[in-house]
Structure 1
Amino acid sequence: MRRRTLLKAGLVGGALLAAAGGAAIVANRDPHRDRDAVLGAVVPALLDGALPSGGALREAAVRRCTDGVVAAIAGLAPSSQAELAQLFALLGSAPGRRLLAGVHDDWHVADTAQVGAFLQSWRQHRFDLFRGGYAALHDLVIGTWYADPDAWPAIGYAGPLPL
């Protein structure tokens, strides 16, 4: 066996082990915990300025929006639900959060500015995959927020006309 062949085999083997390890990390995660942790950080970052400034009111609004996102995900096709579960699992893992999002703190203590910077970087990323991940998170959160009648007074919307 030549040295070059041995090096190639070592690199390929290492890459396969790394991929298998990453897949095992994602496969053994609690999808609801990951989803809730990621949304708990992403919702305030995407709705920064639209949420109430008070502590209890703000937390209640974030919880309502998160619950609405969960309900919206439940209404999607199974393939879309699976893709979102993979996204939340990747972002919920420490390596995924650090390497893909650039957020070093756990989601529950991450600064809104850090999370906003992560979202902005995905929004403007050169790869479609990252832009698609941003679009999914953005559309789910923003759509849920503006579908909530409790959010309408803040934007001056009186609601639909009575029939």
Structure 2
Amino acid sequence: MKRRTFLAGAFTGTAALALGVSLYTPDITDHPDENHRLLFNVLIPIFMDGTLPEVANYREAFINRTIVAINQTISVLPEDQKSEINQLLNLLESRMGLLLLTSSLTPLMLRSADELVLMLEEWRHHFLQMLQTAYLGLRELVLSSYYACPEHWGRLHYAKPTFLTA
């Protein structure tokens, strides 16, 4: 067997295996998550490192409130931006999308915090403008939605401005 034939066969076999794994995604639930709740449960703690409460119940409440705010933010975006962000979120939830965006088939939910930080830092400094834009879009979506919630302002020691009425 020639070396070139072996390499071509190995590459074809790997691609077929990756495609087969990507196409076979068992149905875990009958209702897909339109709000990308699992994805944001993973991304919010990464982007908000150090700002979320340490107590589990409060942390979960802050994350859930932020997810609601993210969905509200997405709902008021112009159609083209809404389409782009939903396309990115759908790619991050699919195996083939993960393979294209992160060079790995491992779902984001199964990655460690360090792996996620490394992935996002690679996007942030990537030579492709598309990945830089994806990083900035996700970051701005999460941060702006978190800080838009008045119940999160107390941790910042920020008080809503009051205006004197005459």
* TM-score range for the pair, normalised by the shorter chain length: 0.7 to 0.9
Q: 2:52 aligns to what SS in structure 1?
A: coil
TM-score (norm 1): 0.74
Q: Could you tell me which residue of structure 2 aligns to residue 7 of structure 1?
A: none
- Quick check: 1:125 aligned with 2:126? yes
Q: Could you tell me which residue of structure 2 aligns to residue 65 of structure 1?
A: 66
Q: Could you tell me which residue of structure 2 aligns to residue 101 of structure 1?
A: 102
CA distance in 2, matches of 1:62, 1:101: 24
1:98–1:104 Cα contact (<8 Å) kept: yes
CA distance in 2, matches of 1:54, 1:108: 21
Aligned residues: 139
Q: Residue by residue, what CA displacement relative to the aligned partner does 1:38-73 show, whole Å, maximum 9, x if unpaired?
A: 212111100010001111111111111111111100
Q: Could you tell me which residue of structure 1 aligns to residue 26 of structure 2?
A: none
1:103–1:114 Cα contact (<8 Å) kept: no
CA distance in 1, matches of 2:157, 2:104: 35
Q: Could you tell me which residue of structure 2 aligns to residue 41 of structure 1?
A: 42
- The residue type equivalent to 2:43 in the other structure is V
The percentage of aligned residue pairs carrying the same residue is 27
CA distance in 1, matches of 2:116, 2:163: 40
TM-score (norm 2): 0.73
Q: Could you tell me which residue of structure 1 aligns to residue 160 of structure 2?
A: 159
CA distance in 2, matches of 1:148, 1:94: 33
- The residue type equivalent to 1:127 in the other structure is L
Structure 1, 123-132 or 147-156: larger mean CA deviation: 147-156
1:45–1:116 Cα contact (<8 Å) kept: yes
Q: 1:32 aligns to what SS in structure 2?
A: coil
Q: Could you tell me which residue of structure 2 aligns to residue 92 of structure 1?
A: 93
Structure 1: gaps of 5 or more residues: 1-13
- The residue type equivalent to 2:80 in the other structure is S
Change in Cα spacing, 1:102 to 1:66, as seen in structure 2 (3 Å) is: farther
Structure 2: gaps of 5 or more residues: 1-11, 24-31
Q: Could you tell me which residue of structure 2 aligns to residue 32 of structure 1?
A: 34
Q: What value does the CA root-mean-square deviation take over the aligned residues?
A: 2.6
Q: Residue by residue, what CA displacement relative to the aligned partner does 1:78-127 show, whole Å, maximum 9, x if unpaired?
A: 11111111101111112322442356543334322222221111111111
- The residue type equivalent to 2:136 in the other structure is A
